[in-house]
Amino acid sequence: MLPELSIRDDLLNNLRAAYARMWVRLRGANRDPTALVAEIGLPILTIGAYVILYRAIGFPATAGAAVIIGGAMIAFWTNVLWNMSSQWFWEREQGNLEMYLVAPVSRMSILLGMAMGGGLNTALRALGIVLLGIFIFQVPFQLKEPLLVGVVFVLTLVALYALGMLFASLFMLYGREAWNTANLLQEPVYFLSGAYFPGFYGPIVPLAIQAAGSLIPMTIGLDAIRRLAIGGGDISSVWLHIIALVACTLILFPIARRTLNYMESLGKKEGRLTLRWQ
């Protein structure tokens, strides 16, 4: 029988696993410059269409700035959907899932590694989208508290990727449903998060849509970042957002852990953990 690991060694093992998963993700996503260029350039096409639409119907230039930030945040949502939520599906298709399951580490550390790698990769791309958007569309920003923007941004990512971990657990046994569900969660979330609107929490967006959108951490974070970066706001304008983002993380993370354990156990019972081509 193998000796039992101390808590410290166990923690180190899990952190190593998370780092290893992050490293694979970073290497995998950045080895192809074409993909990097496309991932920065592609969102600009859609962003451009909305910026032109805003200009066409006489909105101020700040609406364009809001769309650029929204477009950059959408990159994170796309990453959460395709590289977190659907990831166990891809891994199963490629035969890696069973290796994760027999490894002597928590599955959460694998998800954490995916989240860190995905978050860093997407942050690079989001920065590119914002800079390219500003360069092409010449929209104004009014940034007074860059540090606070950074804090809100990191809190948003943590909450968003906690949601990604939950989805990854829920999608664990999916076959083609994983693909289709990820597809399904794209445009509706663009709408509900107000990513392409000049503002979300205000009299112009119906209350029911605001309420539904607030269930997505990106909506809250996006609104806070816009208030700080475009409206020139300070902590007094975003403290509620910060509390909400922390609450989202504290709620979503344990739920993700429990769901992952449940789905893994269900998969074992039903023999679906290694099932391919569903």
Write the binding mask 131 to 160 for other proteins: x where contact by CB under 8 A, - elsewhere.
Answer: ------------------------------
**Least CB distance to other proteins at residue 278 (A):** 8
Q: Are 180 and 51 in contact (CB under 8 A)?
A: no
Q: How far is CA 92 from the centre of its chain?
A: 22
**Least CB distance to other proteins at residue 196 (A):** 5
Residue from 19, 101, 186, 251 in contact with other proteins (CB under 8 A): 186
Q: What is the footprint of other proteins within residues 25-54 (CB under 8 A)? A: 28, 32, 34-35, 38-39, 42, 45-46, 48-50, 52-54
Cα–Cα distance between 194 and 31 in angstroms, integer?
A: 33
**Residues shown for the chain:** 278
Write the binding mask 74 to 103 for other proteins: x where contact by CB under 8 A, - elsewhere.
Answer: ----------------x--xx---------
Comparison of 66 and 273: residue with beta carbon closer to other proteins: 66
Measured CA to CA in angstroms, residue 138 lies from 16, 123, 149 at distances of: 43, 21, 21
Q: Are 260 and 172 in contact (CB under 8 A)?
A: yes
**Least CB distance to other proteins at residue 175 (A):** 7
Comparison of 7 and 204: residue with beta carbon closer to other proteins: 204
Residue 161's contacts (CB-CB under 8 Å, 6 or more residues apart) are 80, 84, 115, 118, 119
Comparison of 176 and 258: residue with beta carbon closer to other proteins: 176
Q: Residue 268: exposed, middle, or buried by beta-carbon count in 10 A (0-12, 13-18, 19+)?
A: exposed
Residue from 101, 177, 210, 261 in contact with other proteins (CB under 8 A): 177
Cα–Cα distance between 22 and 273 in angstroms, integer?
A: 23
Q: Does 187 bind other proteins (CB under 8 A)?
A: yes
Instruction: Provide the phi-psi class of 59: left if phi over 0, else alpha when psi is between -120 and 50, else beta.
Output: beta
Residue from 30, 138, 142, 183 in contact with other proteins (CB under 8 A): 183
Q: Are 111 and 261 in contact (CB under 8 A)?
A: no
Instruction: For residue 45, count other CB atoms closer than 10 A to its CB.
Output: 9
Q: Are 181 and 189 in contact (CB under 8 A)?
A: no
Comparison of 34 and 236: residue with beta carbon closer to other proteins: 34
Q: What is the footprint of other proteins within residues 215-254 (CB under 8 A)? A: none
Cα–Cα distance between 193 and 239 in angstroms, integer?
A: 19
Please identify, among the stretches 3-11, 139-147, 174-182, 249-257, the one whose residues bind other proteins according to the rule CB under 8 A. Answer: 174-182
Q: Does 191 bind other proteins (CB under 8 A)?
A: yes
Comparison of 14 and 193: residue with beta carbon closer to other proteins: 193
**Least CB distance to other proteins at residue 123 (A):** 19
Interface size with other proteins, residues (CB under 8 A): 41
Cα–Cα distance between 32 and 74 in angstroms, integer?
A: 21
Which spans of this chain sit near other proteins (rule: CB under 8 A)? 28, 32, 34-35, 38-39, 42, 45-46, 48-50, 52-59, 90, 93-94, 175-177, 180, 183-184, 186-188, 190-191, 196-198, 204-205, 277-278
